[in-house]
Amino acid sequence: MELVSSSSRLNKSVRQQYMVLPQHGKVQVTYVWIDGSGQGLRNKTRTLDQEPTGVQDVPKWNFDGSSTNQSEGSNSDLYLVPVRMFKDPFLLDPNKLVLCEVLKHTQEPAETNLRHSCNSVMDQVKEHAIWFGIEQEYTILGMDGRPYSWPINGFPAPQGPFYCGVGADKAYGRDIAECHYKACLYAEVKIAGTNAEVMPSQWEYQVGPCEGIEMGDHLWMSRFLLYRVCEDFGLKVSVDPKPVAGDWNGSGCHTNVSTWRMRQDGGLQFIEQAIEKLNRRHMEHVCVYDANGGQDNLRRLTGFHETSNIKHFSSGVADRSASIRIPRQCSKEGRGYFEDRRPASNCDPYAVTMAIASTILLMDED
C-alpha cells in the first residue's frame, strides 16, 4: 500500500515560485460541492475575467455527475449553482472558493443537495433570527488509516492528558488545527475557536454563531479547508463518529442553538419549550443526525464517553451525558442558548439545522 500521499511530497518551495506570478486581472474561482455520498466534497477551477464581488457575479457551471455518484452516464450533466463565496487561502487574493448547490438537468435539487430544502425552512422562520454554532470534532489519520502518530502495534496511553493538552506526548498534529484555523480566517469562514480533544489525534473547531442557512454553508466550507490543509501535510481526516472502538471518545458535531426570544431576558422559558418539542421528535432527529440514517451514531451514542444513550432523550443543566445541555451560564442568566449533543461528526449540517428549526419553530402546539 502507498503510505505517502502524492500531493504532500511535492516540493512546496518550488510551488511558491509559481504562486507569486502575476495573474493580469484574471481570477481563479474554485467551485466546491457535496458529492453523491452526501459526505465527500469535490471541486474544480475556472478562470473569470474579473474579480466577482459576490456570488451573483459567479456564473452557473456544470460537471459530470456520473463520476461523482450523482447521475447516470447517459444523462450525466449536473448544474453547479453558486450560493456562497469565500476567499481562497491556497491560491490567495483575488482568487475565490465558491460553495455550490447541485441541481439535476430538470432543475430539481440532486439527492444529496439538502441545502435546497433547508433554505426554504430557514426562509419560513426568518423572523426568529435562529443562530447556530457547531463544534466539529475530527480525527487526523495517517495514510495507513490509523490515527496520526499512534504506535504501529498498540495504543497510546489511555485518555486523560490529551484534551487541551500541550507537549510532544500530549498534542498530536497541532499544525493541522493551527493551519486550518488560519485558512478559515483568511477565507472568512466564521471559525470561533479550536481545541485538542480527548482522544490523541482528535481535535475540534467551532463555527458560529451563524444565522439560518449560513451555518451549513460555513461548516461545509470549513470541512473543505480541513481536507485541503491535510492534503498538504500528507494526512487524512476522519469524521467517522467512532473512529476507534473501545475506550476512546467518539466525534460529534454538537449544535448550539438560539432564537431571538431565547437570547432576551427571560428567554429560558423558550429554551425549555424547544427542548420539550425536541423530546417529542427524538427518533426523527436521530435519523438525520449522521450520514447513515442513525446507524453511525449507534456506535457513538452509548451513554458513555460524554454521550447520551441513543434510545433515550434527556436534558439537563451543564449535563454532558444528556441529549440536550443547557450551559450553566444560560441557566444562571435565564437566557441564551442550548446545545444539542446528538449530531455526529459526519452529519450534514443542512439536515441538522433544518430538523431543529422545523421542530422548534414550525411544529404545531398541541
Residues that bind ligand ADP (CB under 6 A): 131-133, 135, 192, 206, 208-209, 254, 256-258, 263, 336-337, 339
Closest separation in Å from C-beta 64 to ligand ADP = 36
CA atoms of 9 and 291, how far apart (whole Å): 32
Which cell is 180 given? 486550518
Which of 234, 138, 223 minimizes the C-alpha distance to 187?
223
Closest separation in Å from C-beta 197 to Mn ion = 6
Using CB under 5 A as the criterion, what x/- string covers residues 1-30 for binding Mn ion?
------------------------------
Nearer to Mn ion, 138 or 313 (CB): 138
Characterize the bridge pairing of strands 27-34 and 96-103: parallel
- Residues in the chain, overall count: 366
Nearer to ligand ADP, 147 or 336 (CB): 336
CB 324 within 8 A of CB 255: no
Selected binder of Mn ion within 254, 285, 300, 335 (CB under 5 A):
254
C-alpha 174 chain-centroid distance: 19
Nearer to ligand ADP, 68 or 358 (CB): 358
Closest separation in Å from C-beta 204 to Mn ion = 4
The listed partner (Mn ion, ligand ADP, none) that binds 192, CB under 5 to 8 Å by sort, is ligand ADP
Does an H or E element contain 215, and which?
A: helix 214-233
135 counts as binding Mn ion under rule CB under 5 A: yes
296 counts as binding Mn ion under rule CB under 5 A: no
CB 240 within 8 A of CB 298: no
Residue type, 69: N
The residue number whose beta carbon is nearest to Mn ion equals: 254
CA atoms of 101 and 83, how far apart (whole Å): 7
Nearer to ligand ADP, 146 or 263 (CB): 263
Nearer to ligand ADP, 80 or 225 (CB): 225
Burial of 5-17, coded b for 16+ CB within 10 Å and e otherwise, reads beeeeeeeeeeee
Nearer to ligand ADP, 148 or 337 (CB): 337
CA atoms of 313 and 320, how far apart (whole Å): 13
Selected binder of Mn ion within 35, 204, 240, 296 (CB under 5 A):
204
101 counts as binding Mn ion under rule CB under 5 A: no
Nearer to Mn ion, 119 or 201 (CB): 201
Backbone phi and psi for residue 103, each to the nearest 5 degrees, phi listed first: -115, 145
The listed partner (ligand ADP, Mn ion, none) that binds 337, CB under 5 to 8 Å by sort, is ligand ADP
Backbone phi and psi for residue 317, each to the nearest 5 degrees, phi listed first: -75, 130
Closest separation in Å from C-beta 206 to ligand ADP = 3
The listed partner (ligand ADP, Mn ion, none) that binds 115, CB under 5 to 8 Å by sort, is none
Binding piece for Mn ion, criterion CB under 5 A, among 213-221, 231-239, 249-257, 294-302? 249-257
The gap between the terminal CA atoms of the chain, to the nearest Å, is: 59
- How crowded is the C-beta side of 211, counted as CA atoms within 13 Å? 8
Closest separation in Å from C-beta 320 to ligand ADP = 8
CB neighbours of residue 358 within 10 Å: 19
Binding site for Mn ion (CB under 5 A): 135, 204, 254
